[in-house]
């Protein structure tokens, strides 16, 4: 259950958190989005999906209808109402596309990040050249957006070094040490950057070696965003969009991340692996 006093995370993160809470409440009632929309008699079939994704603000009237349909307890409903009120503030301007901006705002509001990627380093720890190499190959990022998104990713990576918040636990598959997006020099620079981050007291980096076998979440990159108290969200991204998951998803993805940490080399051995790979390049 949500805490009564919610810290000011900013409207973008608040919309995402509210949407995840409502989605969890709907699923607890065993309702699909289509069944819920039908029960609410909403003409816009996509409205509920947008609210749950955190892409639109939620009015008091709509929130009251959702709370009644999902049988949300009064104390939690009151907390959601306060959260919805704060989330209706104007979003701050962003230099990246709207779909990417929501994740940027969420990270800025977080206290800790748990990141997993099986075959490359995520944008939050990318160097400029590494980010450009990957974004330039994207089929959903336009040429005009590439440099803006590169700047944003570099700023995100600097954030860990400069502010020490959020703290970071990064786990990658060993393939990330070999997939040379942008060429060997770009990969070497990326590995040097990750090694520097790994030496910070607020950052933990681990690599899952090839020989350790399968993963608990094969082929699936994701982020677990720790906000405040026990509030968690899972962020997953695919070629055409992204999703924010709460409640049971957080538990399942959290267990998968714990398994990855057990499979991975220790942080000390990981730094040695990265150093060896840098020397090979």
Alpha carbon distance 140, 92 (integer Å):
23
Cα 7–Cα 11–Cα 17 angle in degrees, nearest 5: 70
Token pair in block for residue 155:
């700023």
Which residues are registered as beta bridge partners of 113? Answer: 168, 225
Residue 94 is predicted with a pLDDT of: 54
Q: Kindly report the pTM of this predicted structure.
A: 0.74
CA-CA distances (angstroms) from residue 103 to 46, 73, 107, 177, 234?
A: 21, 29, 6, 25, 11
**What are the structural domains, with CATH classification, of the chain?**
11-87 (1.10.260.40), 98-280 (3.30.870.10)
> Per this entry, what is the length of the chain?
281
Alpha carbon distance 76, 210 (integer Å):
45
Rounded average pLDDT per 10-residue block, the chain, 281 residues: 50 80 90 94 91 87 94 88 80 56 73 92 92 85 80 75 81 96 96 95 95 74 82 80 78 93 96 97 92
Q: What count of other Cβ atoms lies within 10 Å of the Cβ of residue 199?
A: 10
Alpha carbon distance 45, 81 (integer Å):
23
222-226 sheet: strands from edge to edge: 203-208, 167-173, 112-117, 222-226, 232-237, 242-245
Residue 3 is predicted with a pLDDT of: 41
């Amino acid at each position: 259950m949500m805490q009564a006093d919610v810290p000011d995370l900013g409207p973008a993160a608040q919309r995402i958190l509210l949407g995840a809470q409502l989605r969890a409440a709907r699923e607890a009632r065993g309702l699909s989005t289509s069944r819920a929309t039908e029960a609410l008699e909403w003409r816009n079939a996509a409205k509920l999906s947008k609210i749950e994704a955190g892409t639109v603000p939620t009015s008091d009237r709509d929130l009251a209808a959702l709370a009644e349909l999902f049988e949300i307890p009064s104390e939690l409903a009151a907390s959601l109402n306060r959260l919805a009120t704060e989330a209706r503030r104007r979003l701050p301007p962003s230099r990246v596309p709207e779909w990417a901006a929501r994740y940027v705002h969420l990270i800025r509001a977080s206290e800790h990040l748990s990141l997993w990627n099986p075959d490359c380093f995520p944008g939050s720890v990318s160097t400029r050249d590494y980010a450009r190499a990957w974004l330039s190959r994207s089929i959903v990022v336009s040429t005009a957006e590439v440099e803006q998104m590169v700047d944003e990713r570099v700023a995100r990576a600097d954030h860990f070094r400069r502010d020490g918040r959020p703290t970071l636990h990064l786990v990658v598959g060993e393939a990330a040490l070999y997939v040379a997006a942008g060429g060997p020099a770009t990969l070497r620079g990326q590995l040097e950057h990750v090694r520097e981050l790994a030496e910070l007291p607020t950052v933990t980096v681990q690599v899952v070696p090839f020989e350790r076998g399968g993963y608990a979440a094969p082929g699936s990159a994701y982020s677990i965003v720790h906000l405040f108290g026990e509030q968690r969200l899972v962020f997953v991204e695919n070629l055409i969009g992204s999703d924010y998951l709460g409640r049971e998803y957080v538990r399942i993805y959290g267990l998968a991340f714990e398994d990855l940490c057990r499979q991975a080399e220790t942080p000390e051995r990981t730094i040695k692996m990265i150093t060896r790979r840098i020397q090979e390049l």
